């Protein structure tokens, strides 16, 4: 699957004391899919996903996925995933999960991924709308967890 990357830079903070110092905050990366179904996942699905994943602790490299058949469009499912790329076992941050999924929904018609960089919670977030419905082994909103 091909993709394009765009960078969003955090605001620059300038401090003036004896000398002028500048600091640029970590980069947030949004990577939009360039192929696949163009559809939006519902706010209800995104909220449910983010509420569910913050209830557990995940090891580094763990992947947490949910599939929702009831997206905003008939015949389209939404695959939502979070991957712990942080330096340690941790719990995802609800606010960052919501921000990532809503940003991808609004900025990437065919889905994509978002990473908050070093100032984030250590998770990459993925949203991928696809044609069809969720099937075995998991149904709507059920957990798919991969551990290494």
Q: Residues 45-66: pLDDT tens digits?
A: 999 999 999 999 999 999 999 9
Span 105-134, mean pLDDT? 89
Pairing of strands 3-9, 27-33: antiparallel
Number of domains in the chain: 1
pLDDT band at 104 (very low <50, low <70, confident <90, very high): very high
pLDDT of residue 48: 96
| CA angle 110–25–10, rounded 5-degree value | 45
pTM of the model: 0.73
Q: Is the pLDDT of residue 73 over 80?
A: no
* Residue numbers of the domain that contains 88: 3-146
Q: What is the pLDDT of residue 107?
A: 94
Mean pLDDT score of the chain, rounded to an integer?
77
């Amino acid at each position: 699957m091909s993709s394009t990357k765009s960078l969003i830079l955090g605001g620059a903070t300038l401090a003036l004391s004896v000398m002028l110092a500048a600091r640029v905050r970590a980069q947030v990366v949004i990577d939009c899919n360039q192929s696949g179904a163009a559809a939006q996942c519902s706010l209800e699905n995104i909220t449910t996903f983010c509420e569910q994943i913050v209830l557990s602790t995940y090891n580094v490299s763990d992947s947490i996925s949910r599939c929702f058949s009831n997206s905003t469009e008939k015949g389209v499912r939404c695959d939502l995933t979070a991957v712990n790329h942080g330096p340690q076992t941790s719990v995802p941050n609800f606010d960052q999960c919501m921000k990532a999924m809503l940003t991808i929904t609004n900025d990437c018609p065919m889905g994509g991924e978002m990473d908050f960089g070093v100032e984030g919670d250590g998770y990459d977030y993925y949203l991928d709308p696809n044609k069809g419905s969720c099937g075995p082994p998991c149904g709507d909103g059920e957990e798919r967890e991969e551990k290494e």
